[in-house]
Amino acid sequence: MTADPLSGTNTIVAADIRINARWVIPIEPAGVVLEHYAVIIRADRIAAVVPQHEADTRFHTRETLDLPQQVLLPGLINMHGHAAMSMFRGLADDLPLMTWLNDHIWPAEAQFVNAEFVADGTKLAIAEMLRTGTTTFSDMYFFPDISARVAADVGMRASVGLILIDFPTVWANSSEEYIDKGLAVFDKYKGHDLIKTAFAPHAPYTVSDEPLKQIRTLADELELNVHMHIHETAFEVSDAVKNTGQRPLARLNELGLLTPSLQAVHMTQLLDEEIDLLAASGSHVIHCPESNMKLASGICPINRLLSAGINVALGTDSSSSNNDLDMFGEMRSAAMLAKISTMDATAAPAEQVLQMATINGARALGMDDITGSLEVGKFADIVAVNFDTIESIPVYDPVSHLVYCSSRDHVTDVWIAGKQRLTDRVLNTIDENKLKQDCLNASESIKNKATNIM
């Protein structure tokens, strides 16, 4: 027994895992980089973040891991994607959004998407996300029951979107059926440790008023978030104005959808008064800079949004429009795009971008009490990034390094709720060889059968 230097007691507390790291960036409190600290995990939670010498005298753990050249940070939160679409990675590129959707993606989905496709594609996406330091993802796709099951089996944290779209698909034929099947998924995962559900009406131009009103009522009743593509392109807005005389955001406001539970994805077209409206409503904006650049959709004005006090989080969108799920790439793109679009090099500094990829995502999900930062009592959702590489030395500012220098290949280890899911870049709950073989077999079949969509 050793005296506890802080409390003066002689108690050594038992815990499970101790991770000693050269640097720890807890995100909360903001602006802090801790050196030679240890993160202590007990069961699924963070029990302490303390200097290593203090950990020696206060904690006895069954496992100790030394990461002498790594930085620990909270797991990244990928706030928008369509995980299963990883199976369509590179299927159709260099096209504007509506051509890409109408002539390639929607026909491919009609021809190939089924439960097995979603299981393979979602597992492929989760494998990529884990190797990229992502511990939570927000999804919108058909067969949300399958996405939820795959994420839960692998041990990944997810907000699974209960998709709704006006036209029939292999998942459902009518808005009633989309909503009923979505509610069954909600019921199944209610209270689950890792899986949360959210309503995910596809976009203003693909979902009509009646089902949106129903979703508004149900979202209030069940306390569910609403995740939706909004104002992705100038065409979306001008087409709505031409047909209805109203901009989509104004219509959603009339329908009562602008609330703190709304996650508005893309938002590349915004008037000043719309930014005021979003700020007053407490809605969240999900910025997907690489998808917006690749489809030439537009630029989300994140500086103006953040200045107005709006919570902005980051997402990759799917591997069909990005074409990866790399949150390190997304952070760098977000920083660069904010600077060049405002001609202001001080825009979107590294620390702000890192917050967008972590705690801001947790806030958008209403999960900032359980994840998004390395704080005592939160789930141990932790990522280790190696700075001991030729590409990473010297290190003056670890925060700058994560945004401007590190790549996802430098992610070594990942824990979700205290369980290690990536060890020295090897996935612990996914058989990589089998996954690769399954996905390659499925893609061969797509190549052989695809007509006029590639």
Binding site for Zn ion (CB under 5 A): 317
Nearer residue to Zn ion within complex by CB, 50 or 151: 151
Question: Strand 419-423 to strand 411-416: parallel, antiparallel, or no bridges (unpaired)?
Answer: antiparallel
Question: Shortest gap between Cβ of 350 and Zn ion (angstroms)?
Answer: 26
Question: Shortest gap between Cβ of 188 and Zn ion (angstroms)?
Answer: 24
Nearer residue to Zn ion within complex by CB, 44 or 290: 290
Question: Shortest gap between Cβ of 81 and Zn ion (angstroms)?
Answer: 7
Nearer residue to Zn ion within complex by CB, 320 or 392: 320
Report the residue closest to Zn ion, judged by CB.
317
Instruction: Report helix, strand or coil for 136.
Output: strand
Sheet hosting strand 426-427, strand order edge to edge: 45-51, 34-42, 13-24, 59-74, 382-386, 411-416, 419-423, 426-427
Place of tokens 């330091």: 133
Q: Are 356 and 312 in contact (CB under 8 A)?
A: yes
Q: What is the Cα–Cα distance from 377 to 326, expressed in whole angstroms?
A: 28
Q: What is the Cα–Cα distance from 344 to 445, expressed in whole angstroms?
A: 48
Question: Shortest gap between Cβ of 191 and Zn ion (angstroms)?
Answer: 28
Nearer residue to Zn ion within complex by CB, 294 or 401: 294
Nearer residue to Zn ion within complex by CB, 86 or 412: 86
Nearer residue to Zn ion within complex by CB, 137 or 415: 137
Q: What is the Cα–Cα distance from 285 to 293, expressed in whole angstroms?
A: 17
Residue 185 tokens read as 């998924």
Question: Shortest gap between Cβ of 300 and Zn ion (angstroms)?
Answer: 13
**Cα 124 versus chain centre, distance:** 15
Alpha carbons within 13 angstroms on the beta-carbon side of residue 282 total 9
Question: Strand 134-141 to strand 157-164: parallel, antiparallel, or no bridges (unpaired)?
Answer: parallel
Nearer residue to Zn ion within complex by CB, 290 or 317: 317
Nearer residue to Zn ion within complex by CB, 120 or 317: 317
Question: Shortest gap between Cβ of 99 and Zn ion (angstroms)?
Answer: 16
Question: Shortest gap between Cβ of 12 and Zn ion (angstroms)?
Answer: 50
Question: Shortest gap between Cβ of 286 and Zn ion (angstroms)?
Answer: 9
Q: What is the Cα–Cα distance from 255 to 59, expressed in whole angstroms?
A: 54
Query: How would you label 283-292 residue by residue, b for 16+ Cβ within 10 Å and e otherwise?
Result: bbbbbbbbbb
User: Taking each helix axis from N to C terminus, what angle separates 175-189 and 144-154, rounded to the nearest 10 degrees?
Assistant: 20
